[in-house]
Amino acid sequence: MKETARSWTSPHLLSGLLEAQPGAVVSRVLLKKKTGNVSLFAFDAGEGLSEHTAPFDALVYAVSGEATVTLGTERHPLAEGAFLIFPANVPHAVEAQTPFKMLLVMLRA
């Protein structure tokens, strides 16, 4: 079934929408608009996103598990229930210490 915005108008548990795959990072776009995107990521332990920058601010919320996030030159532990902001144009990276799920809210405006 093709998902529509209406498919998301009833409650869902983020933790159940996407499962980590062995040796991989997987993602699912939950909402895509001109003003920004909301995506869910699942990382197997030891997997991550290499350092990169984005031209927009983003909020990262840890849904489950634990990861180390590098933001600029600082490393931060991120565990279930915690969030942090990735400012635009600041290098950042994610490394899962355990199977890890995060919600990424990118703001384009």
**pLDDT one-digit tens code per residue, 54-88:** 999 999 999 999 999 999 999 999 999 999 999 99
3-state DSSP assignment of residue 26:
strand
Q: Where are the alpha helices (DSSP H) in the chain?
A: none
Q: Is 8 helix (H, G, I), strand (E, B) or coil?
A: helix
The reported pLDDT for the residue numbered 12 is 82
pLDDT at 94 over 90: yes
Instruction: List, for residues 23-37, the tens digit of each pLDDT value.
Output: 999 999 999 999 999
Q: What's the pTM value of the predicted model, to 2 decimals? A: 0.88
Q: What is the DSSP string of 79-99?
A: ETT-EEEE-TT--EEEEESSS
Residue 109: pLDDT band with limits 50, 70, 90: confident
Distance of CA 1 to the CA centre of its chain: 24
CB 75 within 8 A of CB 47: no
- What's the pLDDT score for residue 1? 44
CATH 2.60.120.10 fits 20-107, yes or no: yes
Count the Cβ atoms, other than its own, within 10 Å of residue 6. 7
Which residues are paired to 106 by β-bridges? 37, 58
Q: Summarize pLDDT for 2-31 with one digit per residue, the tens.
A: 555 557 778 888 888 889 899 999 999 999
Structural domain boundaries in the chain: 20-107
Number of Cβ within a 10 Å radius of residue 58? 19
